[in-house]
Amino acid sequence: MQYLISVIHDQAGLATPEEHAAIDVFNDRLQAEGHWVFAGGLASPNTATVIDNRGEEALVTDGPFIESKEYLGGFWVIEAPDLDVALKLAADGSKSCNRRVEVRPFQ
Protein backbone atom coordinates (compact mmCIF):
# COMPACT_ATOMS: atom_id res chain seq x y z
CA MET A 1 0.00 0.00 0.00
CA GLN A 2 1.38 3.41 -0.92
CA TYR A 3 0.81 6.67 0.91
CA LEU A 4 1.60 10.25 -0.04
CA ILE A 5 3.09 12.29 2.77
CA SER A 6 2.72 15.95 1.81
CA VAL A 7 4.80 18.53 3.58
CA ILE A 8 2.70 21.54 4.51
CA HIS A 9 4.84 24.61 4.17
CA ASP A 10 3.58 27.69 5.98
CA GLN A 11 6.59 29.87 6.62
CA ALA A 12 8.93 32.12 4.66
CA GLY A 13 12.00 30.41 3.26
CA LEU A 14 12.67 26.81 2.29
CA ALA A 15 14.31 24.14 4.41
CA THR A 16 17.39 25.14 6.42
CA PRO A 17 20.67 23.18 6.20
CA GLU A 18 19.88 21.53 9.56
CA GLU A 19 16.47 20.48 8.29
CA HIS A 20 18.04 19.14 5.09
CA ALA A 21 20.46 17.07 7.13
CA ALA A 22 17.64 15.63 9.25
CA ILE A 23 15.61 14.86 6.12
CA ASP A 24 18.61 13.00 4.64
CA VAL A 25 18.84 10.84 7.75
CA PHE A 26 15.10 10.09 7.54
CA ASN A 27 15.36 9.29 3.81
CA ASP A 28 18.23 6.87 4.44
CA ARG A 29 16.09 5.13 7.02
CA LEU A 30 13.12 4.87 4.62
CA GLN A 31 15.40 3.21 2.09
CA ALA A 32 17.04 0.89 4.59
CA GLU A 33 13.68 -0.25 5.96
CA GLY A 34 12.09 -0.72 2.55
CA HIS A 35 9.52 2.08 2.78
CA TRP A 36 11.08 4.36 0.18
CA VAL A 37 9.27 4.88 -3.12
CA PHE A 38 10.04 8.48 -4.06
CA ALA A 39 10.49 11.88 -2.48
CA GLY A 40 11.30 15.42 -3.38
CA GLY A 41 11.37 19.00 -2.19
CA LEU A 42 9.65 21.61 -4.32
CA ALA A 43 10.78 25.09 -5.31
CA SER A 44 8.64 27.98 -4.07
CA PRO A 45 5.06 28.29 -5.42
CA ASN A 46 5.80 31.46 -7.36
CA THR A 47 7.94 29.36 -9.71
CA ALA A 48 4.81 27.42 -10.71
CA THR A 49 3.08 27.62 -14.10
CA VAL A 50 -0.50 26.51 -14.72
CA ILE A 51 -1.49 24.93 -18.03
CA ASP A 52 -5.11 24.40 -19.12
CA ASN A 53 -5.37 22.40 -22.31
CA ARG A 54 -8.99 21.34 -22.02
CA GLY A 55 -9.99 23.83 -24.69
CA GLU A 56 -8.69 24.40 -28.22
CA GLU A 57 -5.28 25.59 -27.23
CA ALA A 58 -3.16 25.32 -24.12
CA LEU A 59 -3.62 28.30 -21.84
CA VAL A 60 -0.52 29.18 -19.87
CA THR A 61 -0.77 31.17 -16.63
CA ASP A 62 1.93 32.29 -14.26
CA GLY A 63 1.75 31.29 -10.63
CA PRO A 64 0.27 28.51 -8.54
CA PHE A 65 -3.31 27.36 -9.25
CA ILE A 66 -4.31 28.31 -5.75
CA GLU A 67 -3.01 31.24 -3.73
CA SER A 68 -2.70 30.33 -0.10
CA LYS A 69 -0.53 30.87 2.92
CA GLU A 70 0.05 27.13 3.16
CA TYR A 71 1.32 25.22 0.20
CA LEU A 72 2.92 21.95 -0.75
CA GLY A 73 6.60 22.17 0.13
CA GLY A 74 7.59 18.65 -0.78
CA PHE A 75 6.45 15.07 -0.43
CA TRP A 76 7.31 11.49 0.19
CA VAL A 77 5.68 8.50 -1.44
CA ILE A 78 6.10 5.58 0.93
CA GLU A 79 5.26 1.92 0.99
CA ALA A 80 3.62 0.78 4.25
CA PRO A 81 1.42 -2.19 5.17
CA ASP A 82 -1.23 -0.04 6.89
CA LEU A 83 -2.09 3.44 8.16
CA ASP A 84 -0.58 2.88 11.61
CA VAL A 85 2.84 2.25 10.07
CA ALA A 86 2.36 5.17 7.66
CA LEU A 87 1.40 7.52 10.52
CA LYS A 88 4.47 6.55 12.53
CA LEU A 89 6.72 7.22 9.56
CA ALA A 90 4.90 10.49 8.88
CA ALA A 91 5.44 11.55 12.49
CA ASP A 92 9.18 10.98 12.10
CA GLY A 93 9.07 12.75 8.72
CA SER A 94 7.34 15.76 10.29
CA LYS A 95 10.05 15.91 12.93
CA SER A 96 12.84 15.65 10.36
CA CYS A 97 11.57 18.43 8.07
CA ASN A 98 10.22 20.46 10.99
CA ARG A 99 6.83 20.95 9.35
CA ARG A 100 3.31 19.59 9.48
CA VAL A 101 2.59 16.76 7.08
CA GLU A 102 -0.55 15.20 5.62
CA VAL A 103 -0.87 11.46 5.02
CA ARG A 104 -3.11 10.29 2.21
CA PRO A 105 -3.47 6.82 0.75
CA PHE A 106 -3.18 6.14 -2.96
CA GLN A 107 -6.27 4.57 -4.52
Partner 1 sequence: MNRVDVREAVTRVHHEEWARVVASLTRRFGDLDIAEEAAAEAFATAVERWPAEGVPPNPGAWLTTTANRKAIDRIRRENKRDDKQKEARMVYDDDPPEPLGAIDDDRLRLIFICCHPALAMQARVALTLRMVGGLTVPEIARAFLVRETTLEQRITRAKAKIKAARIPYRVPAAEDLPARVTGVLAVLYLVFNEGYLATSPDTDPVRHDLTAEAIRLTRLIRALMPDDGEVAGLLALMLLTEARRTARVSASGELVTLDEQDRGAWDAALVAEGHRLVRERLAAAAAGVAPGRYQILAAINAVHTSARDVRDTDWSQVVALYDQLVSLDPSPIIALNRAIAVAELDGPEVALAAVDRLEDKLAGYHPYHATRADLLRRLGQSQQSRAAYDKAIELAGNTAETAYLTRRRDQLR
Under the rule (CB under 8 A), what is the footprint of partner 1?
1, 3, 81-84, 86-87, 103-105, 107
Contacts of 82 (CB under 8 A, 6+ apart): 1
The least distance separating partner 1 from the CB of residue 83, rounded to whole angstroms, comes to 5
Identity of the residue, 15 or 94, whose beta carbon is nearer to partner 1 in the bound complex = 94
100, 9 contact by CB (below 8 A):
no
The least distance separating partner 1 from the CB of residue 4, rounded to whole angstroms, comes to 11
Identity of the residue, 24 or 82, whose beta carbon is nearer to partner 1 in the bound complex = 82
Identity of the residue, 62 or 84, whose beta carbon is nearer to partner 1 in the bound complex = 84
Identity of the residue, 7 or 103, whose beta carbon is nearer to partner 1 in the bound complex = 103
Distance CA(18)–CA(55), nearest Å, equals: 46
The least distance separating partner 1 from the CB of residue 13, rounded to whole angstroms, comes to 31
19, 98 contact by CB (below 8 A):
yes
73, 41 contact by CB (below 8 A):
yes
The least distance separating partner 1 from the CB of residue 92, rounded to whole angstroms, comes to 14
Distance CA(25)–CA(99), nearest Å, equals: 16
